[in-house]
Amino acid sequence: MLTPGQKAPEFSLYSADKKEVTLSTFKGKNVIILFFPMAFTSVCTAELCEMRDNISIYSALNAEVLGISVDSPFTLAKFKEEQNLPFDLLSDFNKEVSQAYDTYYETFVMNLKGVSKRSAFVVDQEGIIQYAEVLESAGDVPNFQAVQQTLNSLN
């Protein structure tokens, strides 16, 4: 399991906009990485809309938000459009990044194989994990207050 103080695993994934997004390009900014099980599900929608509704708080804390799931870029594009999400949604369709971050269900509901666990990571301007929360229950949401407190401590 990844813990604060460790270097965040590097990744390059395709966004809902079909652009390649690489973690290292955010050097000099704080990054909130949110893994979520599946687009269009109720808890995932509520979680990402909570981020959308508070995006000004995160922007003021010099933080970029990245949402990652194993959904295809095409599914994520529709989800992003319908929910008017102002941040990148990245497709971990090959499940490599979810596994690198140790936020991965081998078997999820309805016997679906290889789904991201709901989790939140704060990565600082140097690429070091400052906050890590991996939730076993997909019905829970990350502690957004703790995420904000971590970001406050970095500024």
Give the pTM: 0.96
The dihedral sign for the CA sequence 4, 5, 9, 10: positive
Give catalytic status of residue 44 as yes or no.
yes
Which among 8, 39, 44, 89 is annotated as catalytic? 44
Token duo for residue 43: 């808890």
2-41: pLDDT as tens digits:
999 999 999 999 999 999 999 999 999 999 999 999 999 9
Residue 39 belongs to a domain? yes
CATH number, residue 39:
3.40.30.10
Residue 7 belongs to a domain? no
Residue 111 belongs to a domain? yes
Q: What is the structure's pLDDT at 94?
A: 97
Domain that holds residue 112: 12-154
Tokens 């269900």 — which residue?
Answer: 105
35-61: pLDDT as tens digits:
999 999 999 999 999 999 999 999 999
Residue 3 belongs to a domain? no
Token duo for residue 6: 């460790």
93-139: pLDDT as tens digits:
999 999 999 999 988 878 888 999 999 999 999 999 999 999 999 89
Mean pLDDT of 146-151: 97
Total number of domains in the chain = 1
